[in-house]
Amino acid sequence: MTPLPHRDYKKIVDENVSRETFSQLEIYVATLLKWNKSIRLIADSTEADIWGRHIFDGLQGLEYLPKGEIKISDMGSGGGVPGLPMAAARPDAMVTLIESDQRKCTFLEVAAREMGLKNLVVKCQRLESLGANPQDVITARALASLKNLIDFSAPLRHTETVLLFHKGKRHTEEVVEARQAYEFNEEIFPSALGEGGALLRLTQIKMK
C-alpha cells in the first residue's frame, strides 16, 4: 500500500477542531485500535496511519455539509468513518450510523458512549430493509459502487438531500455508470490524502 504523504495528520486535526472534539477523537482512536484486535474494523496496515487514513479522511467532508441543524445518515458505517468523526465535530447535527453486522454495531455503540456523543444513534439493519426516513445528508465510504449507493439511499432522500461519498481512483468511471440510471448534479473534490481519491457531492438526484 502506498504510504500517505508525510504530514502530521494528528496535529492537523488538532489545529482544526475544538479541544472537546479532539479529546473525543482521541478516545475514538483508542477504542478503535482496541476493538480492531478482535473485530476487523480497519485494515491492520492502516493502523499506523490511523489519524490520516481514518480521522482526517472522515473529517474532509465537513466543509461540504449544509450549515445549521441537519440530519446525517452514514450507510454501512463499519468502523465508524466518517459518521463518528462527523458527529464529534458537528454537535448540531443528528447522526445515524447504519450497519448490518451486529458486532460492529456493538462497537459503534460503545465508541459513541465512550466519546460522550449525545447526537448519534446506531441502526443495526441491512440497507435493503430501510424504511422512509428523509435525511439532509447521506454519507458512505468504501461501501459499494456509486450507482448502488444511490439505489440504497432512496428511502433516505428528499428533494434537497446531499449525497457525500468517499470514492477511490475509479470515481470518474462510477459517475459515468451511475448516469445510465440517474440524473444528478455532481461536484468532485480531490481527496487531500492524494492517491487519486475524491469526495463526490451529489444533489438533485432523479431516476431516469
pLDDT in tens, 108-128: 999 999 999 999 999 999 999
Q: How many Cα atoms are found within 13 Å in the side-chain-facing hemisphere of 84?
A: 31
CA–CA distance, 29 with 46 (Å, rounded to integer):
12
Coil, strand or helix at 175: helix
- Give domain 9-207's CATH architecture: 3-Layer(aba) Sandwich (3.40)
pLDDT per residue over 11-61, tens digit each? Answer: 999 999 999 999 999 999 999 999 999 999 999 999 999 999 999 999 999
User: How many Å apart are CA 96 and CA 88, to the nearest integer?
Assistant: 13
- Going from N- to C-terminal start, the domains of the chain cover 9-207
pLDDT in tens, 128-148: 999 999 999 999 998 999 999
Segments of 13-161 assigned E as strands: 71-75, 94-99, 120-124, 137-141
Q: How far apart are CA 208 and CA 205, in angstroms?
A: 10
CB atoms within 10 A of CB 18: 11
The whole-number pLDDT of residue 5 equals: 67
**What is the pTM assigned to this prediction?**
0.95
Q: Is the pLDDT of residue 94 over 70?
A: yes
Closest alpha carbon to 108 in 35, 55, 163, 21: 35
Model confidence at 3: pLDDT above 70: no
Assigned C-alpha cell, 117: 456523543
Torsion-angle region of residue 204: left (phi > 0), alpha (psi -120 to 50) or beta? left
Residue 2 has pLDDT above 80, yes or no: no
